[in-house]
Amino acid sequence: QWHEKCGHYTTLGARGAVNKGRTRSVLAVVTALPLYFIRYYFLNLNFLNGLQGFYWSAFSSYSHFMKYVKIRELSTSPSTRR
């Protein structure tokens, strides 16, 4: 269920970002997963929540990564170019 919901909301977020003219570079896509994981796990102190904090940080960073991938795909596909 989470995977389906994540896919749905990342697609909506990516479409909204592309409609606003936002794009993501290859570097942003590649670094999104580790940077967001560090942000959520260490900076937001989720390591204090044990394994649940690790899971939450991993899933949250994965959703950002997927949104960035979708933004990149939508903004570089010929059918969505302006």
- pLDDT average per 10 residues of sequence, the chain (82 residues): 92 96 92 96 96 96 96 83 48
* 23 phi/psi in degrees, rounded to 5: -135, 170
Residue pair 40/65 in contact by the 8 Å Cβ criterion:
no
Q: Which pLDDT does position 77 carry in this prediction?
A: 79
Q: Which pLDDT does position 46 carry in this prediction?
A: 96
Q: Which pLDDT does position 34 carry in this prediction?
A: 96
Select from 82, 63, 78 the least CA-distant residue to 13: 63
3-state secondary structure of 68: helix
pTM of the model: 0.85
Q: Which pLDDT does position 79 carry in this prediction?
A: 65
Please identify which residue in the block is written with the tokens 């995977």.
Answer: 3
